[in-house]
Structure 1
Amino acid sequence: MVLMTTVFRRVFPVVNEELTYWHKKAEQIPNKELRKQALASIEAKRFHCQGGAVFALLAEEYWKDAIRFIVAYQTISDYLDNLCDRSTSLDPDDFRLLHQAMEDALSLENDGTNYYGHRDEQDDGGYLTELVHTCQNVLQGIPYFSFVKKQLLKLENMYANLQVHKHVKEDERLDRLMRWYEENKEKTPTLSWYEFAAATGSTLGVFCLISYALSGKITEELAQIIYENYFPYMQGLHILLDYYIDQQEDKIKGDLNFCSFYSNQDQLKERLLYFIKETDKAVQRLPDKKFHQFVHHGLVGLYLGDEKVMGLDGGAKMVKELLRISGRTAKFFHWNVKMYYRFEKDRETS
């Protein structure tokens, strides 16, 4: 498992360096509420950056640039998610303007925008703008960025729409999400409205496109192949697994969880197995097939390795079945992730 060794010994340490930098920046945010949400997003969701940074290996000699982009972009995503989910606003205009930062991060321009224009909290000491500029600075070094821009913006636009629709007032969320699905269901006719929404909520396609672009191997044809084979199944599997492990936590906090819309655990298991199988098929159409298989099976192992799974009804049975269908790599990743988290926990308490 050379890829696994590389991830743990080379990728994760650089990710941790980048996150340490952004954590220090977050500590300096003047506004108390913005500082609180920025710090919480890094401390509770660092594994999002660790998982996403695996794609940096596709960037070859520019892998550290890829990590810099991935950590900054994912930190924007997690921070904004907290601002929409855990903070002081239920205003869709606020959410839309905040997520303009993610679109700006995928452009080559450095024009400043007041992303907090629709909320009371304003002064972040330049934190969000610096995250955006960090992404832009990496993109400026890509000679053929135009080859991936269309697909990047399509993925970002869907992501931003999801964040707006699912964070408004509780009595408006389902109507907005269902209407949005009706407008787009021809893109994913095999999915329910909540599965479509899940598939739009992943950043994996963005990280894959950026990493290939940094490697110099990107073409317009490859960019389209990546888009079509990451969305919807790879991305949908990613977010459904994320929601699966968070079911109890979201129930307590009153957060929308797409896994709650399945009629029972058997249907949930059946659909997760469907996403795993469809992702297997999609991976066969990609270059560097072994890498994408590693990511696919790694997702299953990563999420099912979370200790929260054992607190779910039928969690142990679900883990056994999904690991069985996902194969040896998923089982190996699952064991390693559990050992890694145990080591980190022991290290923090020693």
Structure 2
Amino acid sequence: MLAYNIPKTPFTLMTAVYRKIFPVVNTELAFWQKRAGEIPNEELRQQALASIDSKRFHCLGGAVYALLAGFGWHEAIRFIVAYQTISDYLDNLCDRSTSLDPNDFRLLHEAMADALSTDNPIRNYYELRPEQSDGEYLADLVRTCQKTMRRLEVHDAIRQHLLKLEQLYADLQVHKHVKEEERIPRLVNWYGENKHGSSLFWYEFSAAAGSTLGIFCLVSYALGGKMTASLAEQVTAAYFPFMQGLHILLDYYIDQQEDKIEGDLNFCSYFESQQLMKERFRYFIDQADSHIQALPDRRFHEMVHHGLVGLYLGDPKVKKLDGGGEMTSCLLQISGYQARFFHWNTKLYHWKQKTRS
């Protein structure tokens, strides 16, 4: 059956993604976009719509993990889209915020923890900010995720791992969105409390906390009936910090110019030199490769890992970066033919989009 036929080559992965995954993701996003357009409060409505419009590729990319869910792939997409939509919406509320209150940001992100529970009550996540009325938009996103959690026979086996990754994500969002002068001291102190012998720089650890890939992988495996307590530990160790760190560092890498103009925090700006940044990217690629070897469906995880490199470095924004061509050539060579395949497809996609406009 196609639902259990986890892709093992870049071509079969792309075929499954375009024919099976993306159409369902777009249907789910259309539903939430309609809901967002009905939000009574203007500020909340604008931020909800903007998050879907500008960050839908997060849902499209994350939904690749639904291929690990067997016959539960449709349910996996519903969860991934809802959870990622919460993440992107809250990021907008904090990033373009009417507030700089860390307590407000913390309460908003309690929605992401509640979404990973089976029965946590819905709270007023907006209690500490002036905007209140969202027509149950955020609450219904949380409820959608909770429905998936209640369908997991092994929820107890993955619960602590889900909450660990969510807690790291929420901590990051709080610390990076407070008053500008407080951000770096808070992030450095937070890293000091959590590094536990880690050899990462504080900004690399922060980047690793900012990805939802580990959560999507855990839930998809659980929906597919493959999850055990041992596998939950393996997935968490494989994805945090290196797979997730590579994901977000690449995301920050291509956004350097935009973030500089907007005055947004960009972790790639803290590397002391282009050479050091290149060496650390190589380190993350090598470590991600090493850590996913013990996982089931190893080839799938390798494709995702190499696909991230090809996907991000195929973005037109890379051409405008100082040393972008050299960085691309170096990382594609390290990552091999799979990364080059996804890189070529990404460039072709952007070329087609440009010719249509």
Amino acid at match of 1:176: R
1:287 correspondence with 2:324: no
Structure 2 counterparts to residues 207-226 of structure 1, below 5 A: 207-226=216-235
Pick the aligned partner of 1:47 from 57, 61, 66.
Answer: 57
Amino acid at match of 1:168: V
Amino acid at match of 1:67: I
Aligned to 2:256: 247
Q: CA deviation at 1:47?
A: 0.8
1:179 correspondence with 2:189: yes
1:155 correspondence with 2:161: no
CA 234–128 in structure 1, closer or farther in 2 if over 3 Å, else same: same
Q: Equivalent residue of 1:57, what SS?
A: helix
Are the aligned partners of 1:242 and 1:303 in contact in 2 as well (CA < 8 Å)? Answer: yes
Q: For 1:128 and 1:172, how far apart are their aligned partners in 2?
A: 28
Q: CA deviation at 1:314?
A: 1.1
Q: Equivalent residue of 1:231, what SS?
A: helix
Are the aligned partners of 1:195 and 1:236 in contact in 2 as well (CA < 8 Å)? Answer: yes
Are the aligned partners of 1:233 and 1:279 in contact in 2 as well (CA < 8 Å)? Answer: yes
Are the aligned partners of 1:95 and 1:163 in contact in 2 as well (CA < 8 Å)? Answer: yes
Q: Is 209-218 or 132-141 further displaced after alignment?
A: 132-141
Aligned to 2:3: none
Are the aligned partners of 1:37 and 1:87 in contact in 2 as well (CA < 8 Å)? Answer: no
Aligned to 2:239: 230
CA 345–20 in structure 1, closer or farther in 2 if over 3 Å, else same: farther
1:319 correspondence with 2:328: yes
Pick the aligned partner of 1:8 from 18, 26, 34.
Answer: 18
Amino acid at match of 2:296: P
1:307 correspondence with 2:290: no
Amino acid at match of 1:195: E
Pick the aligned partner of 1:170 from 171, 174, 180.
Answer: 180
Are the aligned partners of 2:221 and 2:227 in contact in 1 as well (CA < 8 Å)? Answer: yes
Aligned to 2:6: none
Amino acid at match of 2:15: T
Are the aligned partners of 2:114 and 2:122 in contact in 1 as well (CA < 8 Å)? Answer: no
Q: Normalised by the size of structure 2, how large is the TM-score?
A: 0.95
Q: For 1:117 and 1:345, how far apart are their aligned partners in 2?
A: 43
Aligned to 1:340: 349
Q: Is 16-25 or 338-347 further displaced after alignment?
A: 338-347
Q: CA deviation at 1:337?
A: 2.0
Are the aligned partners of 1:110 and 1:133 in contact in 2 as well (CA < 8 Å)? Answer: no
Q: For 1:85 and 1:309, how far apart are their aligned partners in 2?
A: 23
- The two structures, once aligned, show a CA RMSD in angstroms of 1.1
Q: Normalised by the size of structure 1, how large is the TM-score?
A: 0.97
Amino acid at match of 1:335: W
1:109 correspondence with 2:119: yes
Q: CA deviation at 1:3?
A: 1.3
Q: For 1:275 and 1:281, how far apart are their aligned partners in 2?
A: 10
Pick the aligned partner of 1:75 from 76, 82, 85.
Answer: 85
CA 17–341 in structure 1, closer or farther in 2 if over 3 Å, else same: farther
Q: CA deviation at 1:346?
A: 5.0
Q: CA deviation at 1:146?
A: 0.8
Q: For 1:345 and 1:144, how far apart are their aligned partners in 2?
A: 45
Aligned to 1:118: 128
Q: For 2:284 and 2:145, how far apart are their aligned partners in 1?
A: 31
Q: For 2:40 and 2:153, how far apart are their aligned partners in 1?
A: 37
Are the aligned partners of 2:40 and 2:133 in contact in 1 as well (CA < 8 Å)? Answer: yes
Q: Equivalent residue of 1:287, what SS?
A: coil
Aligned to 2:201: 192
1:141 correspondence with 2:156: no
Higher RCO, 1 vs 2 (CA within 8 Å, ≥6 residues apart):
2
Q: Is 137-146 or 112-121 further displaced after alignment?
A: 137-146
Q: CA deviation at 1:87?
A: 1.9
Pick the aligned partner of 1:100 from 92, 105, 110.
Answer: 110
1:131 correspondence with 2:141: yes
Q: Deviations over 1:171-196 (max 9, x none)?
A: 0001100110111111x511011111
Q: For 1:251 and 1:35, how far apart are their aligned partners in 2?
A: 26
Q: Equivalent residue of 1:123, what SS?
A: coil
Q: For 2:232 and 2:265, how far apart are their aligned partners in 1?
A: 32
Q: CA deviation at 1:308?
A: 1.1
Q: CA deviation at 1:342?
A: 3.7
Q: For 2:102 and 2:354, how far apart are their aligned partners in 1?
A: 38
Aligned to 1:63: 73
Q: Deviations over 1:13-41 (max 9, x none)?
A: 11111111111111111111111111111
